Amino acid sequence: MCLLSVMFLIPYILMIKSGQAPMHLLVTRVGPCHNQEKNILKVSEFSVTTQKYDSKLSGMVHISENIGNGWKIKATMNKCADIRNTDSCDFFKSFFVINNGCSSNDNESDLYSTLFNYTIPKIKCPLQAGTYKLQNYPFHSDDNYVTAFESKTTTSAFGYTCRLDGFSVYKKKLKKIFCAEIYLEVLYRRHHAWSTITNNQPSTDQPDNSREFVDENK
């Protein structure tokens, strides 16, 4: 199912034209909801491997029953003053990412077809019961169009949570079939001009505890 493929949309979901410095979105967690019910599609806690601006995700997906076409996925996002403490999170936005999954008139198939190519065995429509391994699914989180609400992030762990709820449709009624969560930490990107660095100590008049991601290749 389109479980993690919606992650590539997150930089665009967060897009804010403020003219501030670009952000890097660091994936810190992908896994089941903490209050997950007995859903027919369950995910494991995913491993996250990060190199520079890119992350790769690996984990298990178990489907206990066949899932008919027409499934839906709803995303609920919160913005967090400190991603390490979900009590600091406030509602940001909620919307349906997928409205008619695996149907013949599905215009959103690109969102999950790429994900299917990274599963073993390969997931196909309609979704069949079984256990699947997602291996090294790439999440490119470097996006120069993502900017912060403030001129700089105000804590060392400002971020977002994204809850994905999946539903099947039976007799025009929605039945919840899965729930997964994604945690993203926002890092302020700063390009160093190493040749201009002197031995002068930085001023401590205005302490800055924002976390900065240094790109040495720039």
Residue 149: the pLDDT is 47
Q: What is the pLDDT of residues 151-190, one digit of tens each?
A: 444 445 888 999 999 999 888 889 999 999 999 888 765 5
Residue 122 has pLDDT above 80, yes or no: yes
For residue 58, which amino acid is it? S
Residue 215 has pLDDT above 60, yes or no: no
Report yes or no on whether pTM surpasses 0.85: no
| Rg, C-alpha atoms of the chain | 19
* Domain ranges (residues) in the chain: 5-214
For 95, the token pair is 């919307």
Higher local confidence (pLDDT), 137 or 141: 137
**190-199 long-range Cβ contacts below 8 angstroms, 24+ apart:** 190/21, 190/214, 190/215, 191/215, 191/218, 192/216, 192/218
Q: Where are the alpha helices (DSSP H) in the chain?
A: 10-13, 110-116
Q: What is the pLDDT of residues 49-86, one digit of tens each?
A: 887 667 889 999 999 999 999 999 999 999 999 988 88
- Count of residues in the chain: 218
